[in-house]
Structures are given as structure tokens and as C-alpha cells.
């Protein structure tokens, strides 16, 4: 598993069914409907199996805290509707954002397949999980999908603008999915920050350090200690000025276009039916030629091979499905303790 945590972080193997059961039980204990709790728990396990630990099972800890504080609303459901101008949107009503993303993805893909192009916005949503999962689903159905999120700076000042040392922006992520070659879609999923905020928060819980180039402390000095971020530091932008530019564009889309972000971020999804330009078989054949050339590029020093965006996650899922997940011991112990406090059956651990 690729991880940004320090290599000496102690881990424990946990049966996926047990981790999913605890996550689901914790959601239910906080007042979530059973079906939403099940969807969120399954999404967290899928992220673990995909090798995306930053959006995995540890997230149940902050989710529970959000419900406990009232930041997230438990007994609400996302609603698909149109605004006064006729544009489609999903209103999350202040709840967890994963089911809202699912609804938006189904709707925007359906309308794109029917009319060629479609857009949908999401507002009033909490954390939306691993974006790549939704972009990949659209791509599997023959669509180009672009997801852009941002805003919410008042609640989520995480990232310093390029050239600055004070956290002012959120991580403002992007995801792009497009039908690929013989091995499935190409999926791009990244924060415009040097690391997703989940790595920073998760590293603190796990007692781990982060790589160089991710954080600065309150004085602007480089650091690998996640605590320095919580003591007034900031996450850096990815790729310097390039990540910053993408983040600013996301801010324009998420707040200047869609309006003030509440709960967490606003989101825009754009979907296009790829058959507008290419027949599926023709597109797949051309894509495979492009991707195969990249895969066969001689690897640079320190690399085993050249990878295609999205294939690492798909390969990891195929390899890890139904296998135990390996969580930092400190993180798993905190999850078990929380479950016990909420009278959720924990099973053996």
C-alpha cells in the first residue's frame, strides 16, 4: 500500500468486514439512516482496498465528531432538484456528502447519455469521500467526467497560497474520469494541495510523520510533523504555482459561480457522452495504443515501472478485495474505543 505516513508506523491487520461493521454501526449510533450508514462504510472500505488510505476507514473518527458537534446533520437525505434558472443540483441539507455524490453522478451521467452534455452542482454537503470513485463510475458508462470542488474557506483554512505562509484555502480537489484502453478508465484524482488534508489529520491520529514538502509551521519553515499544522501551520500547494492556480480556479467555480459554500465545499460535475466524438471500440483501441506506449517507457531511477492514472487503484482493488486492511494500530484502537463508547458491537480485535 502506498502511504504518506512514516515507514515505522505500527500497523494491525483488520478484517474488512469487521472494519465496515464498526464504521456502519458508528454512523447508525450517531443517528444516520441504515442505508446511508451502509453506503458510507462501504465507500471507506473501497478506498482502503483501492490503496487510498487518506479517504479510508480512519475517516469514521472525524465523521463521528462532526455529528457529535452538530457540524453534520445525521437524519437528512440529499435532494435532487432544479434552481430558479432550471439548472440541476443536489442539496445535501448539511449531511454527509458521499450519498449526495452518488445521486449527482447517476443524474448527470443519465442526462449526458440522453443529451450529450450535462452539468450538476452540489451544495450543503459534508465530506464527499474519494472523488475518483465517482469519476470512474461515469467513465465506465462511457462518459468524460470532470469534478471540481472548492470554497468553504471560513471553516476549512488548510492551504497557504503559493508564496504565502498562512493557511487561507481549502484543498480544492479535482477528479477526471474518461474511458481508457483494455484495462478500464483513466482516472485522475488529486487535491491542489501537496497532500490531501486526510493525510495530515490521519497522520496525527496515527502518530506518524509526513514527507518533506507537504507542510510548513506557523513561521513558514518546512516540517514533517502534522502537529505543526494544527499549531498554526499550513499545507503547501501541489507543484507550487500550478497547484495554486488550479486552486484559485476551483474557488472561482465553487463560490463565485455557485455561491457561498456551507458545511464543507461546493462542487460542480460536468459529464459528456464520449460517443459524441468516437465510437466506444474505436476510442478504446486508440486509448490503448497511447497508454501502452506510456507503460512501456523505461522507468527512471527509483521506479519499477510507469503507471497510468487510475490503474493503480483498480489493480489494488482486484488484489485486495475481501482481504484484511492494514490500519495504523493507534487509529484502529481509537475506532474500537469509539465503537465501545457508542455500544456498537466490536467483535474480536
| pLDDT tens string 40-67 | 999 999 999 999 999 999 999 999 999 9
Spell out the residues 6+ positions from residue 177 whose beta carbon is closer than 8 angstroms to its own: 132, 134, 135, 136, 137, 138, 139, 143, 144, 145, 185, 186, 187, 188, 310
Judge contact between 130 and 113, C-beta under 8 A: no
Is residue 296 a part of any domain in this protein? Answer: yes
The average pLDDT across 23-27 equals 98
Split at pLDDT 50, 70, 90, the class of 348 is low
Q: What is the pTM of this model?
A: 0.94
Is residue 4 a part of any domain in this protein? Answer: no
CA distance 182 to 188: 17
Is residue 346 a part of any domain in this protein? Answer: no
| pLDDT tens string 160-210 | 999 999 999 999 999 999 999 999 999 999 999 999 888 999 999 999 999
Is residue 231 a part of any domain in this protein? Answer: yes
| pLDDT tens string 149-161 | 998 888 889 999 9
Query: Per the structure, how many domains does the chain have?
Result: 1
Give the pLDDT confidence score for residue 153 in this predicted structure.
84
The average pLDDT across 318-329 equals 93
Is residue 349 a part of any domain in this protein? Answer: no
What is the per-residue DSSP string for 225-286?
Answer: -HHHHHTT-EEPBTTTHHHHHHHHHHHIIIIIIT----BS-EEEEEEEEGGGTS-HHHHHHH
| pLDDT tens string 205-247 | 999 999 999 999 999 999 999 999 999 999 999 999 999 999 9
CA distance 246 to 22: 37
Is residue 74 a part of any domain in this protein? Answer: yes
What phi and psi, each to the nearest 5 degrees, are found at residue 82?
-115, 145
Q: Is the pLDDT of residue 349 over 70?
A: no
Cell of 92: 445535501
| pLDDT tens string 82-130 | 999 999 999 999 999 999 999 999 999 999 999 999 999 999 999 999 9
Is residue 347 a part of any domain in this protein? Answer: no
303 is in which domain, residue-wise?
11-341
Cell of 347: 467483535
Of 27, 22, 38, residue with least CA distance to 66? 27
Is residue 216 a part of any domain in this protein? Answer: yes
Give the pLDDT confidence score for residue 324 in this predicted structure.
96
CA distance 57 to 150: 23
CATH number where 165 lies = 3.30.1370.60
Give the pLDDT confidence score for residue 1 in this predicted structure.
56
Amino acid at each position: 500500500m502506498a502511504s504518506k505516513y512514516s515507514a515505522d508506523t505500527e500497523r494491525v491487520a483488520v478484517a474488512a468486514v469487521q472494519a465496515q461493521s464498526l464504521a456502519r454501526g458508528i454512523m447508525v449510533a450517531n443517528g444516520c439512516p441504515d442505508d446511508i450508514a451502509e453506503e458510507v462504510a462501504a465507500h471507506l472500505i473501497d478506498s482502503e482496498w483501492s490503496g487510498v488510505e487518506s479517504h479510508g476507514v480512519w475517516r469514521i473518527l472525524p465523521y463521528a465528531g462532526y455529528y457529535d458537534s452538530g457540524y453534520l446533520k445525521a437524519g437528512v437525505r440529499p435532494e435532487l432538484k432544479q434552481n430558479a434558472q432550471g439548472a440541476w443540483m443536489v442539496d445535501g441539507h448539511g449531511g454527509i456528502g458521499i450519498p449526495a455524490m452518488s445521486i449527482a453522478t447517476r443524474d448527470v451521467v443519465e442526462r449526458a447519455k440522453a443529451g450529450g452534455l450535462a452539468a450538476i452542482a452540489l451544495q450543503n454537503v459534508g465530506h464527499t469521500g474519494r472523488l475518483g470513485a465517482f469519476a470512474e463510475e461515469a467513465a465506465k458508462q462511457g462518459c468524460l467526467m470532470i469534478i471540481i470542488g472548492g470554497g468553504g474557506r471560513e471553516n476549512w483554512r488548510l492551504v497557504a497560497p503559493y508564496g504565502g505562509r498562512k493557511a487561507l484555502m481549502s484543498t480544492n480537489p479535482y477528479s477526471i474520469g474518461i474511458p481508457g484502453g483494455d484495462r478500464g478508465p483513466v482516472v485522475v484524482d488529486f487535491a491542489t494541495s501537496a497532500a490531501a488534508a486526510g493525510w495530515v489529520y490521519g497522520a496525527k491520529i496515527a502518530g506518524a510523520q509526513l514527507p518533506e514538502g507537504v507542510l510548513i509551521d506557523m513561521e513558514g519553515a518546512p516540517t514533517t510533523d502534522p502537529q505543526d499544522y494544527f499549531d498554526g501551520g499550513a499545507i503547501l500547494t501541489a507543484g507550487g504555482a500550478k497547484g495554486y492556480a488550479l486552486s484559485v480556479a476551483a474557488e472561482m467555480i465553487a463560490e463565485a459561480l455557485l455561491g457561498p459554500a456551507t458545511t464543507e465545499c461546493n462542487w460542480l460535475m460536468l459529464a459528456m457522452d464520449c460517443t459524441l466524438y468516437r465510437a466506444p471500440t474505436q476510442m478504446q483501441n486508440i486509448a490503448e495504443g497511447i497508454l501502452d506506449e506510456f507503460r512501456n517507457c523505461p522507468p527512471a531511477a527509483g521506479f519499477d515501472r510507469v503507471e497510468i492514472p487510475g490503474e493503480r487503484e483498480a489493480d489494488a482493488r482486484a488484489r485486495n478485495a475481501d482481504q484484511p486492511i492494514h490500519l495504523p494500530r493507534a487509529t484502529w484502537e481509537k475506532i474500537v474505543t469509539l465503537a465501545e463508547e457508542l455500544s456498537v458491537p466490536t467483535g474480536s480485535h
